[in-house]
A and B are shown apart, each in its own frame.
Chain A
Amino acid sequence: MSTGFKEMDLSYTKDDFVSNQDVRWCPGCGDYAILATAQRTLAKFKTPRENYVFISGIGCSSRFPYYMNTYGFHTIHGRAPTIATGLRCVNPDLSIWLITGDGDGLSIGGNHLIHCMRRNVNINILLVNNQIYGLTKGQYSPTSTQGKVTKSSPYGSIDYPINALRIAIASEATFIARTLDADPNHMGMIMTRAAQHKGVSFIEIYQNCIIFNDKTFAPVVGREVRDDRMIYLEEGKPLIYGKQRNKAIKLQGLHPEIVDLEGDGAGQDLLIHKEQSPDASYAYLLSQMSYPEMPVPFGVFRAIERPTYDDMMNDQVEAMKKEKGPGDLKKLIYGSSTWTVK
């Protein structure tokens, strides 16, 4: 989002964005890293602090606004996108950040998330995905894996999980990325990109819930395995990964395939990452790469430009003012046909 960035002589530190409220997440919660990264990231910009607004729904991650020394609104379950949309429509100067989770954003608020993205409302959405309901103490969520045993699924969840990025892609979000709580540098880079993007930015953050779903992403992002199971997307570069940087992805028909750069993959046409692909099928293809068959991509899946909802709304208002003149109350009230009683 770029409209909120006024060039002013402001230099902030992380502390400027820390509120006076005690943070009350569980010790070891991945949200701490996300909060610190957000605070550090905002401090890099020259946007006046009063122009930031953090809006959230309900859930562990939705406590976020209380801890940011900015404007904030902790709203109701699943509805944060609607409140953010209304705010954005009446104020083009703010930098609006929406914090949601896999339950808040993809279950109870799924409808709003979809419509906010397809309208390309100029806000930044951080979807903190821990594949579990934390605040209600451990029921399965729409992103939980099938078979997940929780309090509400003692014999294993029979729900097929939803993939957050695919919802964003199908909704034609103009900026779509994935990052993780355990990599603050990458997370900071992605948040920076989102902040600079004009239009809706959607970031899925893999987050570890230490109490109810500990190490759920460990098979992918665990220290020992991550080099071979994660793939960092870089614009214009081939999709190469592996501890030895010896594996890559190529396209076989419509399917991604792993090739060994030191073996049969040498010299082959590798898949080159392109964020601005005009159609969404490439991003969709990336979103289907999942553990254990494939390495899991992190980074910017898609970044395209398209007029924002709020700009178009404001443009219409301005155009009508130009065409019809600023509204005159007498004209409004008198209408086109009156009569006089004497």
Chain B
Amino acid sequence: MTDIQEKNPPQAQAHPKERKEISAITVRFAGDSGDGMQLAGDQFTDTTAIMGNDFSTLPDYPAEIRAPVGTLPGVSSFQIQFSDSVIFTPGDVADVLVSMNPAALKVNIPFVKKGGLIIVNESVFNEINLRKANWKSNPLLDETLKDFSLIKIPLSELTKNALKDLPIKMTEVERCKNFFALGLMFWLYSRSLEHTVDWIQKKFAKRPEMVNANITALKAGYNFADIAEVFPSQYYVKQSDLEPGTYRKIMGNEAAAIGFITAARLAKKTLFYGSYPITPASDILHQLARFKNYDVKTFQAEDEIAAVGSAIGASFGGEIGMTGTSGPGMCLKAEAMNLAVMAELPLIVINVQRGGPSTGMPTKTEQADLLQAMYGRNGESPVAIVAPKTPADCFDMAIETTRLALKYMTPVIFLSEGYIANGSEPWKLPDIEKLPKIEVVHAAAPNAGTEFWPYKRDPKTLARPWAKPGTPGLEHRIGGLAKAENTGNVSYDPDNNQKMMTLRAEKIAGIANDIPNLEVYGPAKGKVLVLGWGGSFGAIFQAVKQLELEGKKVSRAHLQYLNPFPKNTGEVLRQFEVVLIPELNFGHLLNLVRFRFPGVNATGLHKVQGQPFKVFEVAEKIKELL
């Protein structure tokens, strides 16, 4: 644990230069998939966290594991915004781009601010690499980059020189250049090397020569920046005004995994996770598989259907059954989810949304599975739906998801998305003692004379009793066929069917009484309310904040519960002349709002580019409406 007390930035060692304070900076690392850009970005983020800035990150990488080296499809990028105030987005455009090759430059120019700094690895701007990246002429020599401050550094050469006396192979030397680049960035933003040095020592503990090489490259980069005077200035960003507390850096998928383990602990249950690897949800499986000592059982199933089936089996057995996937997998799980709807068993379904339809853009983000979550099953099939709004919020919403599934004996869909699943931010750690309790009561005795009726509902929650196989006297049968009220026997009786359908719908609708109201930030009444869900929270937050600073009156609200909606939702929306709903789809929440709350003047802002909203996009749309 690091205490941050030091309010003054660290002093540069050799050549003290002018050091400028800035409020927020966006840095983008870009290179070939094999260049270690995600790693460099992660390390930069870790150090930024320790230095007390608020931050938000966006990894942006191709689905191909290793597209041909040096080509456009192989470009992998990582963007981070860090700030001295609270922020929720990785930055619209980068102030600085570190580009490791011509392809990375070509792909990333549109993501750099006009007038921004572009640092290129000059060593690799040769004819072959330029051709691979479809450059007609060398952009370092022509007019291409005239709107930017270009800094050419022969990164590969400098790394090679720094490591020339070390006993490692040429290919390994080549792989150290990301640390050289990281060293440059650490100097430019007055970051300490300490965390990354420690990390390298641990990571390569078994290969001391690689520890030495990577640390040498890192320090060489740092010292080069310090001595060579390639940068006009050095910058620093003050520690941010985050609330006091203990923090860690967290990614969305990681927070979800930790949240569900925590929830299972709070409920005193085994967490069973059946899953089939799929981008971008696999990391949840990877995370959970490491925590077996927390009574976590992970099952890598033969397919998506087996994954959800096994989770239902675990729920039938009285434990927490959970499955996780992304869009295409959700299509496959629909029938089994309906079984859990009919059998009224708790079931947690994580959907980390990605660009669709079909295989779509596996590594890119989207929010276009909301209507699938609502309606994508046969018959009247109500389920609860929640959506975390930031990476850290995945923790809280995981606990909520579990609480609702167990209390209401229902499937609950946890609708995450690639953007928050892979993005990271500081997470203010909760007080363990203050975490909510999750109480589960299993049926222990007959509930109808000497008989046990599996569908005799709790009058308050409308949930049916949960009897674990192995409990004497409660032997019963459930299944996917229509059920008679109370007894749960197979029934095709018309009136009974209508009643059971209504009861299930009412059960889910009743959850509205058990979740927080929708809160409005800004005036409770007025011209424009921006209503968000999921990961668009960040861009909406920043856009509204920006307009407030400009003196404009605009309010925002955010839905973390999408089925049912918080019970005051209609009331809140009706206080505004226009409700703007920005979402990464063609209007899913917009449709639901128009259907559920007639009279509300709702309008959308739609984007399906595989990228999250930029703050300015939301801000401009709001301005149009004001």
Measuring CB to CB, which residues of chain A are less than 8 angstroms from any residue of chain B?
19, 21, 48-51, 53, 55, 58, 65-66, 68-77, 79, 81-91, 93-94, 111-112, 114-115, 313, 316-317, 320-321, 323-327, 329-330, 332-335, 337-342
Contacts and interface: CB of A to CB of B under 8 A. Distances in A.
A96 B432 CA distance: 38
A86 B309 contact: yes
A74 B479 contact: yes
A341 B195 CA distance: 17
29 contacts: A51-B470, A69-B475, A73-B477, A74-B480, A75-B480, A77-B335, A79-B335, A81-B309, A82-B308, A83-B312, A85-B299, A86-B316, A89-B272, A89-B299, A89-B310, A94-B469, A112-B309, A114-B302, A332-B262, A332-B291, A333-B429, A334-B248, A337-B46, A338-B248, A339-B49, A340-B3, A340-B245, A341-B245, A342-B3
A316 B290 CA distance: 11
A84 B297 CA distance: 15
A55 B249 CA distance: 44
Interface in B235-265: 239, 242-249, 258, 261-262, 265
B132 to A, nearest CB: 38
Contact of B297 (A68, A93, A317, A326): A317
B305 A90 contact: no
B246 A338 contact: yes
Nearest to A68: B477
B311 interface: yes
B246 A339 contact: yes
Contacts of A332: 258, 261-262, 291, 294
Nearest to B490: A66
B476 interface: yes
Interface in B1-44: 1-5
B594 interface: no
Contact of A87 (B313, B335, B479): B313
Contact of A327 (B294, B302, B303): B294
A323 B314 contact: no
B85 to A, nearest CB: 13
A119 B261 CA distance: 26
Nearest to B309: A82
B126 interface: no
Listed residue (A49, A114, A326, A337) with the most chain B CB atoms within 10 angstroms of its CB: A337
Contact of A90 (B46, B297, B302, B336): B297
A22 B34 CA distance: 65
A339 B3 contact: yes
Nearest to A342: B244
A46 to B, nearest CB: 14
Contact of A73 (B293, B305, B321, B478): B478
Given A84-B313, A333-B430, A89 B297 contact: yes
Interface in B555-586: none
A13 to B, nearest CB: 16
Given A74-B481, A339-B1, A339-B49, A53 B469 contact: yes
Nearest to B242: A341
Contacts of B479: 65-66, 72-75
A65 B479 CA distance: 9
B319 interface: yes
Given A327-B295, A339-B1, A115 B302 contact: yes
A71 to B, nearest CB: 4
Contacts of A79: 305-306, 309, 335-336
Contacts of B246: 334, 338-341
Contacts of A114: 302
B473 interface: yes
Given A83-B312, A323-B293, A48 B472 contact: yes
Nearest to B489: A21
A16 B532 CA distance: 57
Given A73-B343, A329-B262, A86 B313 contact: yes
B248 A335 contact: yes
B612 interface: no
- Sorted from nearest, which 5 A-B pairs have the closest CB atoms? A86-B313, A82-B309, A74-B479, A327-B294, A86-B310
A88 B318 CA distance: 11
Given A72-B477, A338-B429, A87 B469 contact: yes
A49 B469 CA distance: 10
A314 B186 CA distance: 46
B292 interface: yes
Nearest to A314: B297
A83 B429 contact: no
